[in-house]
Structure 1
Amino acid sequence: MPTYDVPEAPDAPKLETYHFHEQDWDSYEQLVDSFEWEIPEEFNVATYICDRWAEAEPDRVALHIKDDPRGQGEYTFGEIQAAANRLANYLEEEGVERGDRIGVNVPQKPEAVVGHLAAWKLGAVSVPLSTLFGPDALRYRLNDCSATACIIDESTVDVYRSVRDEIDDLTTALTVGDVDQNDGEVDFWAAQEGHSEEFETRTTASDDDLTIFYTSGTTGEPKGVRHAHRMLLGHLPLFSSWFMNLELTDDDVYWTPASWTWMGGLGIVVLPAMFYGVPTVGWNEQFDGKDVFELIETYEITNYWIPPTALRMMMEEKEAAERHDVSSVRAITSGGESLGKTIVDWVKETFEGAAIHEGYGQTEANMVVGGCEPLDAVRQGKIGKAAPGQEVQILDPDTAEPTVEPGEVGEIGIWYENNPVCLKEYWNKPEKTDAKVQNGWLLTEDLGKMDEDGYLEFVSRKDDVIISSGYRIGPEEIEDSLAGHEAVADAGIIGVPDDKRGEVPKAYVKLSEGYESSESLAEELQQHVKERLAKYEYPRQLEFIDELPKTATGKIRRADLEKKHEESS
């Protein structure tokens, strides 16, 4: 299959160090030893993932959109650049300035990509917002980052309208899809009419803010993770070795079921794909294992990132796997929870010749560990090795020092200083940043162990974070939401095992005086959370309890709740 050259421009030199596919390597160690970060002083993601391709190959396809409501189906780099430029001109006219925050509350649609690009072209900061958010979650994030503009999808416009009057700084609202605009709202495409397709992308430093991803974390309010433009460069080494499998061709087509509103979809797949000029497939239907095989055949998908939960759903669709041609698949990557041998064996049998890689990272520092089959950097039961450019160590959980011996359990740490993949800081939460970064290490709050050859194995969460279908869920946000219901006096949340999702939140609820436990009340409380937070955060199990176990200082003893669940299972 023919390879192709990445275009160069005066304001976008090639950055040779991120093109592993153009060289032959004797070993993974040789690749790692030869790698050095190349981070220009001036670097704007929009220039590299859109402008340089649009100017060199305007008809090159950037996005395939299945069941596109606009009937277009394919969007070229030239078309995306023109739309982003028109939108940037509109937003500038509306008063959006460098450094302003722009919410992007849109799923796998071209408007999501155009919205982010327009923000970055202005030197503004985009804020991805899940379309699964309820009013409490959406209100908090838009207010916390003081967003001045927001792009809202038809699927979530009602949620937005329910909190619009409580969002302090918002002055511009664009809607996507079939929406009858309310006062102050403007259709996304109509807003661009009459505006120029020419716009000079602002010069930004590689350390200037690019985006704010919100993560629930494990304690307290959701935290805004500030990432700079350099983040994209931080993702490219592992993307090349792990996702691309050290191969880049004109036949490449990428996909992920992960929403483009969170790091897994936008940061792991869409942005690196566009950097290399590869089209990504957008698909907004409810995930169904059997439909994935048709999607792969239709678009001849070569590489995709998918959580183990979704792979397990695909495994159940034996007839669909046999019915469709999936020979295009070259590499499958996964993360968020461990891959088991059963999944790996199924992938090898179903997608003959395809590599299957596990990876590790988090919103604060993603794509830092992974496998690489072509260089034999894969070991059963292990996540993989540190990506080129990354230093990953097992730290003493008490001292944050790298004194843990091979094979012993400790906290997974990522070297923070001068690491482009790491967050700059938490938005307006300096104390959280100070706790996250110690002795030069970014503390993941995950426990793991590393063997003498450098292969990482995940053990457990250091804290109480729940990982469900790859989503990291903080229990306190769910507890606070439950406590907002008049029937709830107190609540505690733990993660419990689930065959399909890995873990799911389980709620233990103490009722207020005058209320009695019932199945209907349990369903009402679950719905209460589902409507206010992200739909993946609601407690799929709920049990009423007379009194919650607590420490002397009033903290919930989650270990006691976990023991109670185990005894009743």
Structure 2
Amino acid sequence: MQESIPTEKLPDDDVQPDLFHALPELHYPEEINAAVEMVDRHVEAGRGDSPAIVFEDEEISYAELQERVDRLANALLDLGVEPGDRVFVRFPNRPEYAVSCLATQKIGAITVPSMKLLRANEISYVVEDSGASVAIVYDDLLDELEIAREEHDLDSLEEIVVVEENDIEHDHHSYDDRIAAASPELTAPTTTRDDLVMIAYTSGTTGKPKGTVHTHRQMLAICDGYARYCLDPNPDDVFASNAPIAFTFGYGFEVAFPLRFGATTVLIQDPKPTDLLAAVDEHDVSMLASVPTAYNQLFAEHEDELEAADVSSLRRAVSAGEPLPPRTYEQIGEHFGVEASDGIGSTEMLHIFISHRYHDDMDPTATGFPVPGYEAKVIDTDTGEQLPRGEAGLLVVRGPTGVTYWGRPEKQAEAIYDGWSAPGDIYIHREDGRFEYVSRADDLIITGGNNVSGPEVEDVLLEHDAVYQTAVIGAPDEERGQIVKAYVVPEDGVDPDDVLTRELQDHVKASIAPYKYPREIEYLETLPTTETGKIQRSKLREREDVDA
């Protein structure tokens, strides 16, 4: 085990997922490093001049990427980073994000990615829980980290390295200065396939983020399993996505997959749907990945741009983050001339584990089959028994990745069923072998591809003096799949008008990531409760379904 990892943060053996490696591609040697496999291997094979990253007007070759990674790796070693140390990384989608993750992983340290919209309270929890000792951050995102450090001490955080692009004053290390002063010749510590490579945080129904741990072997396995068989990539491919690299979905499509296969990734700092379209046109993108909401916005609002763009380079459009509606599937075919590939994955499982394979007959009414290397079944949550085909139940899976929480023993025990991992979704295993999505098994709201915890939003709303009680659910929405909706019982004497609605929405935006705010607020005199006083969110969801 890596030197500085606290053993109490990892699950006991009896609640570990059963991992197996059925594909021959996943039989990696004991000593291996994901970053070396994604960068150095291509340089050693004579492909150093091939483009690895395209960003704005810049093209970074594999040889140039290797030098940047090695210089930053040496800079981190000079700051005292050791194998097993955690490095907090906070950027929009920029080359420095990929370089920072790869450099951290190359020296046996562990990347802790951060969404750029996280607020100080959320950042402080992630830094403290992970025990991150170093942060690498984009200067325009530094303020919330500094607030977190000032208000919460963050004892573990010893050093901050800042990428300077916006002339923001600070008294931390300069990323460019550290890179320039560091040697391009790296002697990296040895890593093994089961060493940790990333702790990715996800929000669950409790509102408290959960760290999920992943290894070098698992990072390579999502490439050599899902990507290889469901995307059929090759070095001529060009990848693009508007998913944040901080999401494991985005990290896979924008870093791991293209670099594993010697392809090119096009990074877009703050991508809008039309930016993806422009990337396809300008850079001959062949592999496009997004969420249904972004596809829907593109088709509904940008008809002229769609007609003018050359999308003939595309050969696959991937959708994930929320269920892919059949109509969106059809529109992708109509506008892009390619079949859409739906997929279900999770931060816990690292990436997609059910999808159609590249040469399968696509069926838009189902997510697909287990990705090669995985197996899946649907069980009764009370008995743990496998259900007959056609019956809805809890989806459980096993394969080269599995649910492994960082320091969350209760959640770990809840997520493992006799060695099988339960990502938390209700599915039907159909007679044709495909798996059909039904719903989430908990209160997680999936809106526009983002995961939002209803209880977390409730906690923030309850901080406001005007709120007596509240319940937050996902309400059906044609464009976003779901929106965050709050039912609020105001305090006595409070007038529930439009002014209060805007005030509550602004309060949430100022306290947690803005995408979590309730787009709709409905005021009630009472909330439905059980005899013991528990709010019955299921009745509120039923009410929304009737109204829809």
The two structures have a TM-score, normalised by structure 2, of: 0.90
The 2-side partners of 1:33 and 1:210 are apart by 22
Structure 2 counterpart of 1:334, from 297, 313, 319 = 319
Aligned amino acid, residue 183 of structure 2 = S
Higher mean C-alpha deviation, range 49-58 or range 92-101: 49-58
The 2-side partners of 1:249 and 1:79 are apart by 17
The alignment partner of 1:156 has SS state of: helix
Written as runs of structure 1 = structure 2, the 5 A alignment for 1:147-546 is: 147-165=132-150, 166=152, 167-180=154-167, 184-236=171-223, 237-242=225-230, 244=231, 246-250=232-236, 252-287=237-272, 289-316=273-300, 317-352=302-337, 354-365=338-349, 366-374=351-359, 376-402=360-386, 404-415=387-398, 419-423=399-403, 425-512=404-491, 515-546=494-525
Structure 1 portions without partners, runs of 5+: 1-31, 67-71
Q: 1:455-483 CA deviation, whole Å, 9 max, x = no partner?
A: 01001111111111122221111112222
The number of aligned residues is 522
The 2-side partners of 1:133 and 1:378 are apart by 37
The 2-side partners of 1:372 and 1:191 are apart by 44
The 1-side partners of 2:524 and 2:102 are apart by 49
User: Alpha carbon RMSD of aligned pairs, Å?
Assistant: 2.1
Q: 1:350 to 1:181 in 2, by over 3 A?
A: closer
The 1-side partners of 2:540 and 2:23 are apart by 49
| Other-structure match for 1:107 | 92
Higher mean C-alpha deviation, range 466-475 or range 290-299: 290-299
Cα contact 1:55–1:78 (8 A) shared by 2: no
| Other-structure match for 1:22 | none
Shift of 1:184: 4.0
Shift of 1:213: 0.9
Cα contact 1:269–1:305 (8 A) shared by 2: no
The two structures have a TM-score, normalised by structure 1, of: 0.87
Shift of 1:508: 1.7
| Other-structure match for 2:15 | none
Q: 1:428 to 1:552 in 2, by over 3 A?
A: farther
| Other-structure match for 2:16 | none
Q: 1:109 to 1:489 in 2, by over 3 A?
A: same
Written as runs of structure 1 = structure 2, the 5 A alignment for 1:2-21 is: none
Aligned amino acid, residue 309 of structure 1 = T
Aligned amino acid, residue 26 of structure 2 = W
The 1-side partners of 2:72 and 2:214 are apart by 23
Higher mean C-alpha deviation, range 88-97 or range 298-307: 88-97
Shift of 1:159: 1.6
The 1-side partners of 2:233 and 2:213 are apart by 31
The 2-side partners of 1:421 and 1:496 are apart by 32
Cα contact 2:38–2:259 (8 A) shared by 1: yes
Aligned amino acid, residue 48 of structure 1 = E
Identity %: 33
The alignment partner of 1:551 has SS state of: coil
Shift of 1:301: 0.3
Written as runs of structure 1 = structure 2, the 5 A alignment for 1:111-130 is: 111-130=96-115
Shift of 1:556: 2.2
Q: 1:355 to 1:372 in 2, by over 3 A?
A: farther
Q: 1:548 to 1:264 in 2, by over 3 A?
A: same
The alignment partner of 1:155 has SS state of: helix
Shift of 1:249: 4.5
Cα contact 1:344–1:356 (8 A) shared by 2: yes
The 2-side partners of 1:186 and 1:249 are apart by 36
Structure 2 portions without partners, runs of 5+: 1-20
Shift of 1:271: 0.7
Shift of 1:521: 2.2
Cα contact 1:101–1:127 (8 A) shared by 2: yes
Q: 1:507 to 1:281 in 2, by over 3 A?
A: same
